[in-house]
Amino acid sequence: MESLTPRQREIVTLARSQGRVSVEELAARYEVSVQTIRKDLNQLCEQRVMSRVHGGAVVASSVENLAYEARRFIAGEEKAAIGRAAAALIPNDASLFINIGTTTEEVARALTDHQGLLVITNNLHVATLLYPHPRIEVIVAGGPVRRSDGGVIGAAAIDLIRQFKVDYAVIGTSAIDEEGALLDFDYREVRVSQAIIENARQCLLVADSTKFERSAPVRIAHLRDVDVFVTDRLEAEPLRELCRSEGVELVETAAEASRS
């Protein structure tokens, strides 16, 4: 980042701590025009330091995920809406897997009014959200706990997941490429996610639209491998057509909100 201006360096530092930065907020913070901030962000994107998202930018990386606390700030309202929409698809008295991710945690948060659920998870945050509810039974996969985000990964987690055949899998992903590949950063986490998909009768993918603007190196699965895709909005027509041709039910929460 040697060629960056002091303000651009500060913007990158801010994005690393918050997950994303907004054009309007940066303009107010530095008392400059939005055009000046857009120029800064465009230069940062040209150098592959950041990636543009609607209204701002996020730190760009194709090999390392953002910190957990930073990811929680990204598209928070969109993730909450996705969580509610996905939870509405899951009936009472169902069994399900929920994997690692800030969006899958929003699904868990929206499930707390359900009853008769059996939830198997490798996400300690999901377990913490659900175990206090007496009508929801929670099983946590064993194995090493990833300190960065409370994810349980490794062979022991896979072995436990393979003991079950559940009604639903709720999975998240770090990135979705233009061909429909679901991508993540840690191959150990990916192996757990693959076991979850393989041992569920129906798979729900939950991912906000910023995932279309990111990249990651490890392949989890393909969009055709899921039954329902819940997102805030899908603007890429090739991916929309892929959902149609492969029979993937597409739920767009932004579209639903505009109709209500």
Domain hosting residue 181, numbered range: 71-259
Outline where 98-236 has alpha helix (H): 102-110, 124-130, 155-161, 187-198
> Does 37 lie in the same domain as 75?
no
Contact (Cβ atoms closer than 8 angstroms) between residue 214 and residue 172? no
pLDDT digits (tens, 9 = 90+) for 186-226: 999 999 999 999 999 999 999 999 888 788 899 999 999 99
pLDDT digits (tens, 9 = 90+) for 59-76: 765 545 566 566 666 677
CA-based nearest residue to 104, from 175, 197, 206: 206
pLDDT digits (tens, 9 = 90+) for 89-118: 999 999 999 999 999 999 999 999 999 999
> Does 160 lie in the same domain as 87?
yes
Q: How many CB atoms lie within 10 A of CB 252?
A: 20
> Does 88 lie in the same domain as 210?
yes
Strands 166-171 and 151-152: unpaired
Q: How many CB atoms lie within 10 A of CB 35?
A: 10
Per the listing, tokens 């198997």 go with 120
Question: What is the SS3 assignment for 244?
Answer: helix
How far is Cα 52 from Cα 59, in angstroms, rounded to an integer? 9
The pTM (predicted TM-score) of the whole model is: 0.78
CA-based nearest residue to 25, from 16, 13, 38, 44: 38
Q: Is residue 25 part of a domain?
A: yes
Could you say which of 41, 60, 79 is where a domain stops?
60
